Amino acid sequence: MELKKTRRHFQIQIFKLLQRIDLPEDFYMLFLAAIIGVFAGLGAYVLNLLVNFVHYLLYDSFLNITSVSWFSYVLLALFPAIGGLIVGLVIHFFASEAKGHGVPSVIEAIANRGGFIRPRVSFLTSLTAGTTIGSGGSAGKEGPIVQIGAAIGSTVGQLFNVSSERLKVLVGAGAGAGLAAVFNAPVTGVLFALEVILVDFSINAFTPIIFATVISTTISHYLIGSSPLLKVPVYYLESFYEYPLYILMGIVGGFVAVFFTRVLYATEDFFNKHRNLPEFLKPALGGLLMGIIALKFPELYGFDDHAIHSALLARTEIWILFLLMILKIFATSLSLGSGGSGGLFTPSLFIGATFGAFFGGLMNYIFPSATAPATAYALVGMGIMVAGTTHATISALVLIFEITSDYQIILPLMLGTIVATLTARLIMRENIYTMKIALSGEYVFKGRNMTLLQSIPINQHIQKKYDKIPEHMPFSKILKLFRESEHSAFPVLDKRNNLVGVIWLRDIRPYLFDEHLYHLLIAKDIAQEEFMTIHPDQSLADVLRMFDLTDAELLPVTERRNPRRIIGVIYRDELMRWYRKAPLLHPELYSK
């Protein structure tokens, strides 16, 4: 209680300071974003240290102790299993949220818990991810750092007792800051937080996320270095005839992305079905199987970017590229589907680079004089695979652009990523992150748990008492009603109280400066006769979808048998206020 009072006192002092020096209210969120950016940058550094420490301990120290070659060979297969066993024990006894690839847990926290994430998740995810990747598991750092950053953002928000809406933004700021620090890609971090985590591009979300990512990336530059993530060749387009090939590449890449997603969750389902095997042993088994595959192809280890560089520089034979692409899909699925901890961005870049180089090599063989080298296709392939798996076209596009710093790649990259995203969406509605949530029986859209909302009727949200406009009301009185009311839309009713139309603020604007029309026009003249309505037996999810579709402030509720018989109205603002408070007012609905 004393700590809570201290935090509140500190918060009030900040408010008073901002008021005294007459700074905009946004500066409070920027202050919190700065704290998050600092800790997210440090979190990326700690995660990097853990990965390097575990790798050094196993592969550089322990492996060199033995001089028996066959035993060293066995150890190479066992190291990912040892890492998996440690991860399994940590997850089993301390935090189940640290399991898997992190991002779905953050999306679920936004949709179901208003952005609340337990503070200890940041520490435990660092430990599990560092162990998984450092021991050789086929995974990346970006998923864990997104979860670590999100946990930091949530913790800061909880300490300063911010509202649910602000807490979600701070979670997004932490997630974006973490991703930016690991990839040395600040713009990608911002867009990923907005496009995938929050699904919100409002300025209120944009500003704190940018601030946090700038700070975290600066700290990362100082502690880790600012060298590019990958050494990439110079990109160029050989001819305009290649554009159709990039469209084809995007289509094929969309199928490969869906294949990757389905193999990952089929593997996870396989391990989940074997309930007789203790949970903490499953990551060890997945690590062992992955380690056996990596004996022949060490490029599959999570800490090794050699295969990506080889694909980008065209140093690998074409059939080896195809084999590495397929094996990486299965190796990553074994590492993460069994319960290990790690990210999917880096494996997607690996799969995309090998897929692109393979596709480019094939096109070079078929059209030798009209196509650029396979290295160009490898670059675009990385963007295609990230876009196809995440459905985050903008993030994928900007990530590759930040990696390459080459404007020449933009047009083929835009074409390939958009086509890949559309193809993947046509085959499978969910992306590689939301699929995990969907398999648990929930559907998350735009940060909302639509499965939960589908079960909530709209009866309690129907306003039976509302402002209405008679169809013969003069324009002057309509104008007065708009001036005095807090709403900007009204239903228009006839003498029998049947719905004949709706008047929005935009409908009266054309007549505001023609005062001679004020006594000539009536409500029926300007009312919109074509409008969307809802019925009382529909769900809250249906209503929210309708508001998103129509961008309306008000939706009339009518009888299903008689669509002109109005029962009441639902206001968008009032519904959204209820939705923001729902996890607090009705925790039983959101509990797992």
* All domains of the chain in start order, with CATH: 2-223 (1.10.3080.10), 242-446 (1.10.3080.10), 455-590 (3.10.580.10)
The answer to whether residue 573 scores a pLDDT higher than 60 is yes
Query: Exposed e or buried b for every residue in 448-486, given b needs 16+ CB within 10 A?
Result: bbbbbbeebebeebbeeebbbbbbebebeebeebbeeee
The answer to whether residue 466 scores a pLDDT higher than 80 is yes
Of the given ranges (110-114, 362-366, 448-452), which has the lowest mean pLDDT? 448-452
Instruction: Name which of 288, 281, 203, 246 is nearest 24 in CA terms.
Output: 203
DSSP string, 271-339: HHH-TTS-GGGHHHHHHHHHHHHHHH-GGGSTT--HHHHHHHTT-S-HHHHHHHHHHHHHHHHHHHHTT
Query: Exposed e or buried b for every residue in 502-517, given b needs 16+ CB within 10 A?
Result: bbbeebbeebeeeeee
pLDDT of residue 177: 93
pLDDT of residue 9: 56
**Which tops the pLDDT comparison, 86 or 531?**
86
pLDDT of residue 254: 96
pLDDT of residue 267: 93
- Please write the tens of the pLDDT for every residue from 393-424: 988 888 888 877 777 788 889 999 999 999 99
Question: 18: pLDDT confidence band, cut at 50, 70 and 90?
Answer: low
Average pLDDT over residues 371-384: 87
The C-alpha atoms of residue 162 and residue 132 are separated, in whole angstroms, by 34
Average pLDDT over residues 238-265: 92
Question: 246: pLDDT confidence band, cut at 50, 70 and 90?
Answer: very high
C-alpha angle 434/437/442, rounded to 5°?
115
Average pLDDT over residues 132-141: 87
**Which tops the pLDDT comparison, 309 or 109?**
109
The answer to whether residue 281 scores a pLDDT higher than 80 is yes
Query: Exposed e or buried b for every residue in 145-156, given b needs 16+ CB within 10 A?
Result: bbbbbbbbbbbb
Instruction: For the chain, give the mean pLDDT.
Output: 81
pLDDT of residue 205: 80
Greatest mean pLDDT range, 2-11, 50-59, 246-255, 503-512 = 246-255
pLDDT of residue 212: 94
**Which tops the pLDDT comparison, 333 or 478?**
333
Question: 582: pLDDT confidence band, cut at 50, 70 and 90?
Answer: low
Average pLDDT over residues 161-190: 87
Question: 211: pLDDT confidence band, cut at 50, 70 and 90?
Answer: very high
The answer to whether residue 584 scores a pLDDT higher than 80 is no
pLDDT of residue 235: 67
pLDDT of residue 559: 84
Average pLDDT over residues 75-89: 86
Of the given ranges (85-89, 210-214, 308-312, 441-445), which has the lowest mean pLDDT? 441-445
Instruction: Name which of 554, 577, 462 is nearest 507 in CA terms.
Output: 554
Going 327 to 330 to 332 to 335, the CA torsion angle's sign is: negative
The C-alpha atoms of residue 261 and residue 443 are separated, in whole angstroms, by 17
Q: At what angle do helices 69-93 and 282-296 cross, to 10 degrees?
A: 150
Question: 327: pLDDT confidence band, cut at 50, 70 and 90?
Answer: very high
Average pLDDT over residues 138-163: 86
pLDDT of residue 587: 47
pLDDT of residue 67: 54
The answer to whether residue 146 scores a pLDDT higher than 70 is yes
The answer to whether residue 93 scores a pLDDT higher than 80 is no
The answer to whether residue 449 scores a pLDDT higher than 60 is no
If phi over 0 gives left and psi between -120 and 50 gives alpha, with beta otherwise, what is residue 115? left
The answer to whether residue 592 scores a pLDDT higher than 50 is no
Interacting residues of 147 by C-beta distance below 8 A, sequence separation 6+: 97, 98, 102, 103, 105, 106, 121, 122, 125, 175
pLDDT of residue 589: 45
pLDDT of residue 508: 81
Percentage of residues of the chain with pLDDT beyond 70: 81
The answer to whether residue 323 scores a pLDDT higher than 60 is yes
